[in-house]
């Protein structure tokens, strides 16, 4: 295996991931504190060097899910679950990576843990520096994540030219996430000129590869008439498909369709349930929408405390409308 790219061909790695995904549904229902590692297991991993296998598997997992368009919260949950599945503490793997950054995978994963605050406090600047280092070593996952950070990241010094260049490179290499990101760049003029037709075509290509973010973005094109004619029914169908793949924005957009009757009948109860699901995935817009429904008793019993709770969750992610709403409610 090359240290520069995730090992996607190793039979051993594939078997480990197969075992992991057989158990992932159970983990999703489990509090991570339920799994307590033993000193014997930890020492065995560190002594025998088996953590190198775990590191590669974690990078493979992130690579797989990032190309599928999974939400960052969903990926973070699966990363934590996988670490616990190996009977290793979050602090243990963080400390090991701190002293063992000798491959691009280990450098990247150390950056990932710092970015998401796994085993440590979140340090986005340090994370970006580490991921940039791994990306320069031609680590594909790091290149995808660096592009993501600069395109979608908040409270960082976004380098849109770098984001576009990386997305263009990754798209040429047929990585679904890179194709979707390149479409987003053309759609929003990130590091390049606006080109809605190119955006539409790239979203279509990413969607054809099964990328749920591409599917969701393609739905937005049909909803708003970006690079194609407006087709609300097609938009609804694509949001439904993205939601089925657990794309949090797709779920939230589907909720909006039910709320407003876009491509389907109005169903405020269904809208609430979908917003709740997307909010639990960490989607800031859905958190705002569910707070709004609690505030005014739409599709659910009026509950100001719940409204404030969800406005706070959304505001913590820098969603400006939530910040404004929260300020008004707290002043009351």
pLDDT tens per residue, range 297-327 = 999 999 999 999 999 999 998 899 999 999 9
Average pLDDT of span 185-192? 97
Among 56, 54, 76, 55, smallest CA distance to 65 is for 76
pLDDT at 192 over 80: yes
Average pLDDT of span 241-245? 96
Cβ atoms of 109 and 55 closer than 8 Å: yes
pLDDT band at 20 (very low <50, low <70, confident <90, very high): very low
pLDDT band at 71 (very low <50, low <70, confident <90, very high): confident
- What are the two backbone dihedrals, phi and then psi, of residue 71, each rounded to the nearest 5 degrees? -70, 155
pLDDT at 95 over 60: yes
Percent of the chain with pLDDT over 90: 73
pLDDT tens per residue, range 102-156 = 999 999 999 999 999 999 999 989 999 999 999 999 999 999 999 999 999 877 8
Average pLDDT of span 64-89? 91
d(CA 99, CA 103): 12
- The reported pLDDT for the residue numbered 49 is 56
- The reported pLDDT for the residue numbered 302 is 96
Percent of the chain with pLDDT over 70: 85
Global confidence as pTM: 0.82
Mean of the per-residue pLDDT values of the chain: 87
Domains and CATH numbers, the chain: 48-158 (1.25.40), 247-331 (1.25.40.10)
d(CA 172, CA 177): 11
Among 306, 281, 272, smallest CA distance to 216 is for 281
pLDDT at 263 over 70: yes
Of 11-20, 129-138, 170-179, 303-312, least confident by mean pLDDT is 11-20
Terminus-to-terminus CA distance in the chain, angstroms? 61
Average pLDDT of span 245-259? 96
pLDDT at 207 over 70: yes
- The reported pLDDT for the residue numbered 156 is 81
């Amino acid at each position: 295996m090359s240290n520069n790219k995730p090992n996607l061909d190793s039979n051993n790695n594939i078997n480990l991931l197969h075992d992991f995904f057989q158990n992932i549904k159970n983990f999703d229902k489990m509090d991570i504190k339920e799994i307590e590692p033993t000193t014997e297991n930890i020492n065995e991993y560190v002594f025998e060097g088996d953590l190198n296998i775990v590191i590669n598997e974690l990078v493979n997992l992130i690579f797989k899910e990032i190309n599928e368009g999974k939400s960052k919260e969903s990926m973070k949950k699966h990363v934590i679950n996988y670490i616990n599945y190996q009977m290793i503490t979050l602090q243990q793997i963080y400390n090991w990576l701190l002293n063992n950054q000798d491959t691009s995978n280990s450098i990247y994963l150390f950056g990932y843990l710092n970015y998401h605050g796994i085993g440590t406090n979140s340090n986005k600047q340090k994370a970006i520096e580490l991921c940039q280092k791994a990306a320069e070593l031609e680590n594909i996952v790091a290149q995808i994540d660096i592009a993501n950070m600069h395109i979608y990241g908040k409270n960082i010094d976004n380098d849109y030219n770098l984001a576009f260049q990386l997305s263009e490179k990754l798209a040429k290499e047929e990585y679904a996430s890179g194709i979707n990101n390149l479409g987003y760049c053309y759609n929003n003029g990130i590091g390049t000129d606006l080109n809605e037709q190119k955006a539409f075509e790239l979203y279509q290509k990413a969607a054809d590869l099964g990328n749920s973010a591409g599917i969701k973005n393609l739905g937005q094109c049909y909803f708003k008439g970006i690079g194609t004619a407006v087709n609300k029914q097609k938009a609804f169908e694509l949001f439904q498909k993205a939601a089925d793949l657990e794309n949090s924005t797709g779920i939230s957009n589907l909720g909006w369709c039910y709320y407003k009757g876009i491509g389907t009948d109005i169903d405020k109860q269904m809208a609430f349930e979908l917003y709740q699901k997307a909010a639990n995935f960490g989607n800031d817009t859905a958190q705002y929408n569910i707070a709004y429904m609690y505030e005014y008793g739409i599709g659910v019993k009026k509950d100001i405390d719940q409204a404030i709770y969800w406005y706070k969750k959304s505001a913590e992610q820098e969603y400006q409308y939530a910040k404004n709403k929260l300020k008004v409610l707290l002043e009351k």
